[in-house]
Amino acid sequence: MIINFIRSGDITGEDIDMRLDLNNLSIDESQELVGLIEASDFFNLPGNIASPDLATDEYHYSISVDTDGGSHHTVHTDDSSMPVSLRPLITVLSRLAFANPSEPK
């Protein structure tokens, strides 16, 4: 499974552009991410959940997931319109982006 995660916006300038191949992560990290994707019902979320008014003081997110079975889905959201079910996944992806400085961000 491949996850592409982009976080942009906010006035801090801490943008993230990260590609994660779950085969290259530890078993625990990989299982945690798969569990969060399933718990968020990711593949049934609408593709665009972002609010129409782009606020400069909040983050905007794009999460794309490609499964080994060929499924693909992308969700665009932001801090103010993000479903509660998606927040844990975004929190872990943000943490991984800063914990793995070798990954492009």
Greatest alpha-carbon span in the chain? 39
Say what the pLDDT of residue 105 is. Answer: 41
DSSP3 helix / strand / coil % (the chain, rounded to 5): 35, 30, 40
Q: How confident is the model at residue 61 (pLDDT cuts 50, 70, 90)?
A: very high
pLDDT (0 to 100) of residue 104: 47
pLDDT at 83 over 80: yes
User: Of 63 and 50, which is predicted with more confidence?
Assistant: 63
Least Cα distance to 9 among 44, 71, 56 occurs for 56
Quote the mean pLDDT of the chain: 88
Give SS3 for 3. Answer: strand
pTM for the model stands at: 0.86
- As a whole number of angstroms, the distance between CA 58 and CA 78 comes to 7
In-domain check, residue 102: no
Domain that holds residue 27: 2-97
* 103 occurs within a structural domain: no
Please indicate, yes or no, if residue 82 is contained in any of the structural domains: yes
Asked whether residue 85 is domain-assigned, the answer is yes
The answer to the question of residue 20 being in a domain is yes
Let me know the angle formed at the C-alpha of 96 by 105 and 20, rounded to the nearest 5 degrees: 65
In a domain, 15, yes or no: yes
| Band (57; pLDDT cuts 50, 70, 90) | confident
What integer pLDDT is reported at residue 31 of this predicted model? Answer: 96
Q: Is residue 104 part of a domain?
A: no
The number of domains in the chain is 1
Instruction: Judge whether 33 lies within some domain.
Output: yes
